[in-house]
């Protein structure tokens, strides 16, 4: 699986847009980029997934440049409840085989009033 | 749907004791996995299953056993608990054919081994 690098922590304020960038220089052709969110004392929760260009859902947007060596998770108008750890994962679309997810340390996002 | 459920939520064991962490899902997912998360760390895969009767080892399998007799249940057994197994344990499931990374996680079991 492609290794990912993301900032250990970030701070922002309520109402701001927050962008978290993840580097994945060794991403493979069949790899997808997925982001998870984890609140304290809870299991991770799927946020968004993409392969190239831009993906948007009701929670976030994911921007992926043409070379796919990085990606940016964008959270619009954050609130205090967005304080969490955000994980970037890169792996193949798979209909079978090993379930070998690798979670790094993630980015601890702290939102202040 | 209850999703992925785990019991107990908290457990304290003495070194050498054995116990089973329960995990169940009602989404008819073929794939189920167990992870452990240590303070300040990401999740590490312990064991996984791609269907009833099929299990395999993940990154950190030593000291743990699993079985998958039904689609719904995937218990994790600690044979002889050690302080190094103090951690938060998460169970997850996903559909076969879904992307590897689109998993649903349970609320976790916080285990302390004294």
Please give chain A's pLDDT, 113 residues, in tens: 568 899 999 999 999 999 999 999 999 888 889 899 999 889 999 899 999 999 999 999 999 999 999 999 999 999 999 999 999 988 876 544 455 566 778 999 999 99
pLDDT tens digits, residue range B82-99?
999 999 999 999 887 766
> CB within 8 A of A40, min separation 6: which ones?
A84
Q: Is the pLDDT of residue B74 over 80?
A: yes
Q: For chain B, which residues lie within 8 Å of any Cβ of chain A, measuring from their own Cβ?
A: 4, 31, 33, 35, 40-45, 48, 50, 56, 58-59, 90, 92, 94, 96-97, 99-108, 110
Binary contact (A101, B45; C-beta < 8 A): yes
CA–chain centroid gap for A72, Å, is 7
Which chain A residues contact residue B10 at CB under 8 A? none
Cβ atoms of B91 and B83 closer than 8 Å: no
Q: Which residue has the higher pLDDT, B18 or B59?
A: B18
Structure tokens at B73: 């249940």
Distance CA B65, CA B68 (A): 11
Point out which residues pair with B87 in neighbouring strands: B111
Task: Give yes or no for a cis peptide into A53 (omega within 30° of 0).
Answer: no
How many helices (H) and strands (E) are present in chain B, helices listed first?
A: 0, 11
Binary contact (B99, A93; C-beta < 8 A): yes
């Amino acid at each position: 699986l492609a290794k990912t690098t993301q900032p250990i922590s970030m701070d922002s304020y309520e109402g701001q847009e927050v962008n978290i960038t993840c580097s994945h220089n060794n991403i493979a052709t069949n790899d997808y980029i997925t982001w998870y969110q984890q609140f304290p004392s809870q299991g991770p929760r799927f946020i968004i997934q993409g392969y190239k260009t831009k993906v948007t859902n009701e929670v976030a947007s994911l921007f992926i440049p043409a070379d796919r060596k990085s990606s940016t998770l964008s959270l619009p108008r954050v609130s205090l409840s967005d304080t969490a750890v955000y994980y970037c994962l890169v792996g193949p679309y798979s209909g079978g085989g090993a379930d070998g997810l690798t979670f790094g340390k993630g980015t601890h996002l702290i939102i202040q009033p | 749907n209850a999703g992925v459920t785990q019991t107990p939520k908290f457990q304290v064991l003495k070194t050498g004791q054995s116990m089973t962490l329960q995990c169940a899902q009602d989404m008819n997912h073929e794939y189920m996995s167990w992870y452990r998360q240590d303070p300040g760390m990401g999740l590490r895969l312990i064991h996984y299953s791609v269907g009833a009767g099929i299990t395999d080892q993940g990154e950190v399998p030593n000291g743990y056993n699993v079985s998958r007799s039904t689609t719904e249940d995937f218990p994790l057994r600690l044979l002889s608990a050690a302080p190094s197994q103090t951690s938060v344990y998460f169970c997850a499931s996903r559909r076969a054919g879904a992307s590897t990374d689109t998993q649903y996680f349970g609320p976790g079991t916080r285990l302390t081994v004294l």
